[in-house]
Each structure stands twice: as C-alpha cells, then as structure tokens.
Amino acid sequence: MQKARIIVGLGSCGIASGGRKVYEQLQQGIASRGLDLTLEETGCIGMCYNEVLVDVVIAAGTTTYKQVTPEMADRILDEHIVEGRIIQEWTVTEEDEKCLNRQQRIVLRNCGKISPESIDEYIEQGGYRAIERVAKEMSPEMVIDEITRSGLRGRGGAGFPTGVKWGFANKSAGDKKYFICNADEGDPGAFMDRSVLEGDPHSVIEGMLIGGYAIGANHGYIYVRAEYPLAIKRLKIAIEQAKARGFIGQNIFESGFSFELEIKEGAGAFVCGEETALIASIEGSRGMPRLRPPFPAISGLYGKPTNINNVETLANIPWIIFNGAGKYASFGTEKSKGTKVFALAGKIQRGGLVEVPMGMSLREVIFDIGGGTSGKHEFKAVQLGGPSGGCIPSSLLDTPVDYDSISQTGAIMGSGGMVVMDNTTCMVDIARFFLNFTQNESCGKCTFCRIGTRRMLEILERIVAGKGVDGDIELLEELAENIRRTSLCGLGQTAPNPVLTTLKYFRDEYEAHIKQRRCSAKACKELISFAIIDERCKGCGLCIKVCPTGAITGEKKKLHVLDADKCVRCGQCVAKCRLEAIIRVDRW
C-alpha cells in the first residue's frame, strides 16, 4: 500500500503566506505522533490567493486545504490522517476547482504537482524523454521544423516565431554558438517566469537542451535576476541533478551532442530584458542595448551566433516535442497558437497564475477565472504588457487574448502581467507610475528615452498635483511620438504606451485634472481632502489610532473631528473605518 503524503506549497507566494511555519508544524506533528507518511514541498499551482495550500494524498484520493496556518496543522493530522475524516470547511471550493479546470496547463503542467528539487519526480512525469528523442532520433532541422509547425511564438513579449528564430541561429556559421534563457523578469505585477523556475526548473533546462541541439550550441546561460533567490536555489539543484544523470555534459545519450549550462545572476536592471543589453551584461559590461543588425543570431554573446528565449517559451518545448506540433497547434487561434500564462494582480479577487488557450477573452480570464474585482468597486481597466504595454478599458473586455487583437487596442501581450484596476484607480496616476518606472530603468544611452521620458514624467506629476496647464496633453503626445521613433531598444520604443493608451481611452480624466482640478477616482492626494460624516461616526477611535499626524481627535463614543490642515491625505483612516464614516471629497 502506498504511503500517505502531505505536500505543502512552498513557492514564493506560499512562503510569504507562512508556508515554512506550516511545514515545520506538520513536521513536528508527524514526528510526535509517530506517523508513517512523507512530508514534501512543491511550487505554486497558481492559486496564490489561497496560500498556504496543503495537499493530503491518501489511498482514497487527494484533498487540498487552503489558507492553512500552523494552528490548523494538528487538526489536519488528527482528523484527516489518523481518523480519516476530511475537514470540509477548510478545503478549496468547487469554484476554485472550476477555475483550474477552465485552464489548459502546458507550461504549468508540473507546477504545484511535483517537488521542484526532485529530478525523479520530473522524470516520472515524462521529463527528459523529449531531449532523449531529439538526441537519438531527430536532426536539428527536424527539431526546428517541429517547433515551427507548432506555431509557438516567443512568450517574452515580441511574439516572434520560435522555430524561425532557431532557424536563423542554426544557419549562422560559427565555431561556437550560445543558447540563453532570459529569466530577467522585471514587469511590475509579473511573476510567471519566477513561478515556473521555482516550481518546475527541469522543464526549462530540458527546453534549453533541445534548443541548443537545434541551433548547434554547446554552451548555455540562464540569465536570472538576483531578486529571485528561491528560483536560483532550485535551478542550481536541478542543474547539478541533471549533470549527475548525464543530461547535461558531454556526449548526452551517446549522441555526440554536448551541452554545458551555467547561471548568470543579473542585478535587476529592467533594460537587460532586451537581448543585446542582456548579452552585454553576461559579457561583464554595463547592460546597454546596441544597434541591430547584426542580430544576436549572427553576432551575439562574445561575437558568436546566439539564441535567446524566455522561460515560458522554453517550458513549452519539451511538451511540444513529446506530444507533437499538431497537438500544440490545436490550441489557440490561427495566428496565436498554444496557451499563455498570465499573472493576475491588482484589484482582482483570485490573484495568481493562470494558463489559458490563446483566444480566450479578457472578460473570461478576469471574471470567470479571476473572479472579477476584489471588493465592491466596478472594473475599470486592465494593464497588459507591463511598462511596455497599455491600459485596456472595460468597453474592450471581450477582446480575445491573442497577439494581433491585443495590439489593436494599443497595448501589447508582453510577458503576461495582467494588472486589474477598479474605479478607485486614477488612470493619470497609473500612467505616471509606469512612466516613473521606465524613466528610472532607462539606461540613458538614447537622448529621447533619457530626457524625453523625464519631461513626460514631469508633466504627469504636475497634472496629478493639480498644476496641469492647457497644452500638456498635446505636449505628452508629441514627446511620446518622438521617443517611440528615436529610441534604440524596446524599453524606449514602448515607454510611452501607458500614457498613450490612457489618453486614448481615458482622456476625460486628464482633462478633468487639468481644467477642473478634479480626480474622479479620488486618488490624487493634492486634489482631494477628507471629511467625517456626522451621522455615521460612532466614535470608535480606530481612525485616531492610525492617523500619523494626529489630525483626528475626539472622545470615545462621541463624534470625531478631522483637522484638514494637519491631514496629509494618506488614506489610512478611510481604510480602517468600518462604518465608512470618513470619505474622500474634491478639494477644489
């Protein structure tokens, strides 16, 4: 009889929610009760909103408990393991299960199911069979043809056909070639690549091996940002395990194919997500883009032919080889095949990771799978593509999620960050936030990117402070066009996108800020003040405790008073008041 197992979700989201303490409590409880079972860890399955997740696997089946705390551990052991009774009120709901079932998990096929630190569990799921088939039965051209026929496009943002890209590098002459995995995920609100590396690192390694074989490369780098310590730790373990089994090294599967792999930790520069800047960083230079052509496929790392794919792209590769190009191409749309992983963040009820077939509408992703907005406020917009993307309004919720349809809105697919906003979000301030990010991350090489984004940011800061003037909107548009046209890399070329899309769909908010000194979302501090509604205030004192400047005074159970001159409009009192007795009002 198979031994019972308890599996704890220990991706970054699980650990941040207290997963390590849950694991330790279960470990102690198992030892003190003398229970004969195994305690394991896994990565994120995508339900970040339900972390800490704990699976109990016994002969009768698997039960998943959600939002587990250390205090719940003993009861799970006593009632479920010892007595065989499921604690129904703690399990994931049918709605949670439906959300998972609506997805098509290819990239995330093993995440949350296997131990990321066990090569044996990866092999049990068919791992390394794809590279074995490639090395023993296929020529490099056959591999490239298979990937081309699958219709896989690069998931890093540009959406360039992966098979075509590999073909360029394959045909380039060179005594040495390199294959690089771009794991420099830097978009605010994006955590797709991190979760894959933490939950299923071997799939990315196997994808790199197949890609290296296809282009004729014998050396690879995984360029991963140093802010991902757990991903780096598990990658290092996976690489050592793969070397020990002979999947990395010399004469793999006695085919004559050799491949060495190492990790390069990046310092967190957003611009290093661009291929040539990333290459410069690996070479030890400052991460700055260079003119193309020549493209990396001709002259890349150390002047040698180089191919670069991101984490999600590579995680697809073993599945495609194992299941066939036709199977992969059966998902998605005519021009956007397969699936796409999205990180749902912001004002969303069920935040986390989802993987859906291309062509599913934004409405289905955000409302049917994500559960719609958190709280009582209405959906307003979704930011797609991070700082390089744009804001898509509620009127376009039925837009299919594919490369062409998203581009037509003015946004881009990007790597998969999907930040949901409700009507408490000021779209002018959102544009300011993203432009501030790209301005800080500009390498400074191009004048218009370095200075033009600074001028745009200064205008936006004036507008949200209630100091905008006539002509600011037109000046923003003029600067945006010049920055897009004259910047060398994708960072500068797409930096104005959040501004341009918010101007396109929410121009009235810009005009209200400038002409009326009014923020309809009541979010811009300089344009609002706070007021206490007499008939709602019960004098509980919670607002007094959280006010950082002592602006609120009053006796217990008596009407409180707010001093507008002392108020710094931080909003903590509004968030704390259970009776909604403190409200934001227009200041002018």
For residue 532, report the phi and psi dihedrals to the nearest 5 degrees: -100, 130
Are 450 and 404 found together in one domain? no
Is the CB of residue 530 less than 8 Å from the CB of residue 477? no
* Domain-located, residue 113: no
Q: CA-to-CA distance for 289 and 273, rounded, in angstroms?
A: 10
| pLDDT for the residue numbered 156 | 84
Sheet order of strands, 4-9 included: 37-42, 4-9, 54-58, 61-65
Are residues 455 and 535 located together in one domain of the fold?
Answer: no
Task: Find residue 261's DSSP bridge partners.
Answer: 220
| Per-residue model confidence (pLDDT) at position 189 | 84
Domain-located, residue 552: yes
In 3D space, the residue among 363, 357, 297, 295 whose CA is nearest the CA of residue 331 turns out to be 357
- Taking the C-alpha atoms of residue 356 and residue 304, their distance in angstroms, rounded to an integer, is 37
The span from the CA of 194 to the CA of 206, in Å, is 17
| Residue 350 CB burial class (10 angstroms; 0-12, 13-18, ≥19) | buried
Q: Which two tokens stand for residue 132?
A: 């074995």
Give the count of domains, the chain: 5
Residues 431 and 460 in one domain: yes
pLDDT at 342: 95
Distance CA 498, CA 484 (A): 12
Token output for 198: 């933490």
CB 185 within 8 A of CB 387: no
222 with 75, same domain: the answer is: no
For residues 38 and 165, membership in a common domain is answered with: no
Last residue in a domain, options 385, 407, 422: 422
Is the residue at 111 inside a domain? no
Last residue of a domain, one of 364, 394, 422: 422
Are 83 and 68 in contact, with CB atoms under 8 Å apart? no
Q: Which of 303, 329, 355 is the last residue of a domain?
A: 329
**Domain-embedded: residue 468:** yes
Q: Is the peptide bond before 294 cis (omega within 30 degrees of 0)?
A: yes
Which two structure tokens, joined as six digits, stand for 174?
Answer: 């060179």
Residue 112 lies in a domain: no
Closest CA to 3 of 36, 32, 31: 36
List the CATH number of the domain containing 57: 3.40.30.10
* Whole-number pLDDT of residue 158: 79
69 Cβ contact list (under 8 Å, min separation 6): 18, 22, 52
Please indicate, yes or no, if residue 334 is contained in any of the structural domains: no
Q: Is residue 241 part of a domain?
A: yes
Distance CA 417, CA 409 (A): 16
Q: What is the CATH number of the domain that holds 140?
A: 3.40.50.11540
* Confidence at residue 401, expressed as pLDDT on a 0 to 100 scale: 95
| Four-point Cα dihedral 194, 196, 199, 202, nearest 10 | -120
Whether residues 324 and 249 share a domain: the answer is: yes
Note whether 179 and 263 are same-domain residues: yes
Give dist(CA 224, CA 311) in Å, integer: 10
Residues 142 and 251 in one domain: yes
Rg (CA), the chain: 26
pLDDT tens string for the chain (588 positions)? 578 899 999 999 999 999 999 999 999 999 999 999 999 999 999 999 999 999 999 988 999 999 999 999 999 999 999 999 999 999 999 999 888 889 999 999 999 999 999 999 999 999 999 999 999 999 999 999 999 999 999 998 778 999 999 999 999 998 999 999 999 998 888 899 999 999 999 999 999 999 999 999 999 999 999 999 999 999 999 999 999 999 999 999 999 999 999 999 998 888 998 999 999 999 999 999 998 899 999 999 999 999 999 999 999 999 999 999 999 999 999 999 999 999 999 999 999 999 999 999 999 999 999 999 998 899 999 999 888 889 999 999 999 999 999 999 999 888 888 999 999 999 999 999 999 999 999 998 999 899 999 999 999 999 999 999 999 999 999 999 999 999 988 888 999 999 999 999 999 999 999 999 999 999 999 999 999 998 899 999 999 999 999 999 999 999 999 998 999 999 999 989 989 999 999 887
Please check whether residues 91 and 124 belong to one and the same domain. no
* Same-domain status, 385 and 365: yes
The C-alpha angle with vertex 275 and arms to 359 and 498, in degrees rounded to 5, equals: 55
pLDDT at 1: 53
Instruction: Read off the CATH number of the domain in which 502 is found.
Output: 1.20.1440.230
Query: 495 and 566: one domain?
Result: no
Residues 219 and 300 grouped into a single domain: yes
Domain that holds residue 40: 4-97
Strand partners of residue 38 = 5
Spatial CB neighbours of 249, under 8 Å, sequence gap ≥ 6: 243, 258, 259, 260
Whether 109 is in a domain gets the answer no
206, 217 contact by CB (below 8 A): no
